[in-house]
Structure 1
Amino acid sequence: MPETTPTLADLAHEVRSKNAGPFWVTMELFLRDAAGYRIAADESFLDERVIARLYRVDAATVQIFRIPSLNVVKISFPRPISQGSLRDRDMHAGQHHVPLALLRVPAAGGGS
């Protein structure tokens, strides 16, 4: 059976998204250990441009907070559609984390 490339979810205890008010979404990666944190926090792998591509938002609006003492990466960006509006399909932002969790981790020694 071929070996598959791990995802961010494989490195994490939890990947979650949450409502951060009617106009923002916040996602958090709680990494299992410092090695996983180093991968997830590596700007050559996970940066504003990657989040912008995954979520179809402007990279200039993405905020990434790296917290090494907790092995946590926190990401915030404006909601594409304000909370509770007619086209809002995820009012509590509970499903926004899925594309991030499924992001494939690069092979050792290189970014994506």
Structure 2
Amino acid sequence: MTQQQIVEVTHGESRPLGELAKLIRSKNAGPWMMTIDVMLADAATFEMVVRSGALTADKVGTLLGVNPADIDLYEYSPAHTIKISFPRRLPNGHPDDTDIFGGQQFAPLVNLPIPTSNPQIS
């Protein structure tokens, strides 16, 4: 599946992750890793996103150009947050690194469609 196909897929009604999230941010997690935090406003929205099955290592890997086997997804319900960690393409500070703080890496996830009706139960 390509990035464009992921964004075009709809499962009934859906909304972009960026509309559902209170905050989506990315940052360095040391010189070799990157992390993206998807912070949702409340428990109901968190559960809907988790149960939708829309945030998988395969989809995230496709959107970010990262091998899905290298992606770790963590669901932390007390904070209504999903953390996505993966290796940087280049170490932080490398002369060819175009995002030294890792602050722009979340962007491909903003338009990821999240089904809002009939989410699958995992």
* TM-score after normalising by structure 1: 0.86
List structure 1 segments (4+ residues) > 4 angstroms apart after TM superposition.
none
Q: 1:54 aligns with which of 52, 63, 75?
A: 63
**2:30 alignment counterpart:** 21
**Cα-Cα RMSD:** 1.8
* Residue 64 (structure 1) aligned with residue 70 (structure 2): no
Shift of 1:40: 2.5
**2:43 alignment counterpart:** 34
Q: Using the aligned pairs only, state the percent identity.
A: 31
**2:103 alignment counterpart:** 94
Q: Distance in 1 between matches of 2:98 and 2:51?
A: 31
Superposed CA deviations along residues 28-48 of structure 1, whole A, max 9, x for unmatched, are 011011222123223621111
Q: Give structure 1 stretches of 5+ with no counterpart.
A: none
Higher RCO (CA-CA < 8 Å; seq separation 6+): 2
2:51–2:119 Cα contact (<8 Å) kept: no
User: How many residues are aligned here?
Assistant: 108
Q: Give structure 2 stretches of 5+ with no counterpart.
A: 1-12
